[in-house]
Amino acid sequence: MQPPTPPSTAAPHRPSPLSTQLDSTTTHESLASTFSPSSAPSLSQQPIPLSHPYNHNYPTTGQRTEQDEEVAELEQYRQQALQHKSQIDNATQFQPFEGSRVGSPIPDNNGLGWPGKGTLARLHSTEAEKQARQAKLADAVKTLLECIGEDPERDGLIKTPERYAKALLWMTKGYEERLPDVIGNAIFAEDHEEMVIVRDIDVFSLCEHHMVPFTGKVSIGYIPNKFVLGLSKLARIAETFSRRLQVQERLTKQIAMAVDEAIRPMGVAVVMEATHQCMTMRGVQKPGATTITSAMLGAFRRSDKTRAEFLSLIRTQQSGR
């Protein structure tokens, strides 16, 4: 048996230099719009010289084939992803969450990613404060039971408030997790430029509108740019954001932007398919209905072929499945 690996010290959070240019009133929607295709300089505005290694197949007439355009497009995203990284040749100096392509999905200095009003208070709670929080929540559950017409003192319910308080705090544990701590030092220098995909990651979250569960699967893909992320960390990122009160659209976007911020790849793609109990067990009551959302950044957003390849791969059925 191998000796246990000593715990690593996660790098401190360093927001993107460009994130400091964002006004304090910037909304998440406007932040996401910075990833639109129009925000990137066009190839015609930044032509690649004929002496460039990615230009060796270009005809002397200046006309490019479709394959040449794809190569140039990937090179463009490579340069965008590296625009704030001065230590690309020294992997030991690489810091996650520093110098993302455009803006930052983690605008707070604590690396929480879209923290709520009470997130910091919960994150830094002492043990006594945690116990007081749980007791307060249990008292609220007693009130809830009384309001629906139950007796919180009967045998079957006497321990329910305490149990539910513990369960709810666990189901929302994502509020207590910092993304730099989640990823740790699981970022590796690797000369790999093809898609990396982890698909069918189970996610469980609570709808913030009704506080009932929605469950499903998420597939995450990216095109590395000198660095790769430990495969389990993709699932951990999805877990961190799903263990909060959520809507599926925002959850999908947060996962994609966190991966982009961590390793600055040439592109990130996330597709999620989930079933919401707020529309299957109540309201419209349509069991079997699923919701599909996607978030495409970088090369996946601009290139139809790259996006189609990703979508094809995550839909491919494994043999024997």
* Domain presence at residue 102: no
Q: Which residue has the higher pLDDT, 217 or 19?
A: 217
pLDDT of 98 reads 52
Q: Rounded CA gap, 124 and 121, in Å?
A: 6
Are residues 163 and 206 both part of a single domain? Answer: no
* 293 and 201 within one domain: yes
Query: According to the 3-state scheme, what is the secondary structure of the chain?
Result: CCCCCCCCCCCCCCCCHHHHHCCCCCCHHHHHHHHCHHHCCCCCCCCCCCCCHHHCCCCCCCCCCHHHHHHHHHHHHHHHHCCCCCCCCCHHHCCCCCCCCCCCCCCCCCCCCCCCCCHHHHHCCCHHHHHHHHHHHHHHHHHHHHHCCCCCCCCCCCCHHHHHHHHHHHHCHHHHCCHHHHHCCCEEECCCCCCEEEEEEEEEEEECCCCCEEEEEEEEEEECCCEEECHHHHHHHHHHHHCCEECHHHHHHHHHHHHHHHHCCCEEEEEEEEEEHHHHCCCCCCCCCCEEEEEEEEHHHHCHHHHHHHHHHHHCCCCCC
Residue 39 tokens, joined: 């925000």
- pLDDT of 34-50, one tens digit each? 333 333 333 334 443 43
Q: Does one domain contain both 302 and 219?
A: yes
- Checking DSSP bridges between strand 213-223 and strand 196-207, what pairing results, if any? antiparallel
Which of 175, 197, 215 corresponds to the end of one domain?
A: 175
Q: What local confidence, expressed as pLDDT, does residue 287 receive?
A: 84
Domain membership of residue 147 (yes or no) is yes
Q: Decide if 137 contacts 144 (C-beta within 8 A).
A: no
Q: What are the phi and psi torsion angles at 49 (to 5°)?
A: -60, 150
Rounded to 10 deg, the angle between the 231-242 and 248-263 helix axes is: 140
| Domain membership flag for residue 89 | no
Segment 148-196, tens digit of pLDDT: 999 999 999 999 999 999 999 999 999 988 888 888 888 888 888 899 9
Residues ≥6 apart with Cβ < 8 Å to 213? 204, 205, 206, 207, 277
269 within some domain:
yes
Burial class of 42 by CB neighbour count within 10 A (0 to 12, 13 to 18, 19+): exposed
Domain containing residue 157: CATH number: 1.10.286.10
Domain residue limits at 145: 118-175
What does each C-alpha distance from 152 to 131, 135, 137 come to in angstroms? Answer: 20, 15, 14
Domain of 290, CATH number, reads 3.30.1130.10
Same domain, yes or no: 193 and 302: yes
Task: Tell me whether residue 46 is in a domain.
Answer: no
Beta strands 245-246 and 196-207: pairing type?
A: parallel
Rounded to whole angstroms, the Cα distance separating 41 from 302 reads: 12
225 and 300: one domain?
Answer: yes
Structure tokens at 91: 């992997």
Q: Are residues 161 and 204 in the same domain?
A: no
* Last residue of one domain, picked from the residues 137, 153, 175: 175
Among 24-33, 79-88, 104-113, the range of highest mean pLDDT: 104-113
- Same domain? For 229 and 302 the reply is yes
> Do 198 and 150 have their domain in common?
no
Same domain, 248 and 275: yes
Q: Are 251 and 213 in contact (CB under 8 A)?
A: no
In angstroms, the CA 253 to CA 71 distance is 27
Last residue of a domain, one of 128, 149, 175: 175
* Active-site amino acid positions: 207-210, 248, 276, 278
- Residue 133 tokens read as 């929080």
Whether the CB-CB separation of 227 and 188 falls below 8 Å is answered with yes
Does residue 306 lie in a domain region? yes
Q: Is 189 exposed, middle or buried (0-12, 13-18, 19+ CB in 10 A)?
A: middle
Q: Is the pLDDT of residue 1 over 90?
A: no
For the full predicted model, state whether its pTM sits above 0.75. Answer: no
How is residue 269 written in tokens?
């793609």
Same-domain pairing of 171 and 208? no
233 lies in the same domain as 301: yes
269/155 same-domain check: no
| Residues 229-287: tens digit of each pLDDT | 999 999 999 999 999 999 999 999 999 988 988 888 999 999 999 999 888 888 888 88
pLDDT bin (cut points 50, 70, 90) of residue 89 is very low
Domain count, the chain: 2
Tell me if 230 is assigned to some domain. Answer: yes
Q: Cβ(207)–Cβ(276) under 8 Å? A: yes
Query: Do 220 and 238 touch, CB atoms closer than 8 A?
Result: yes
The answer to whether residue 98 sits within a structural domain is no
Question: Is the distance from CB of 35 to CB of 268 less than 8 angstroms?
Answer: no
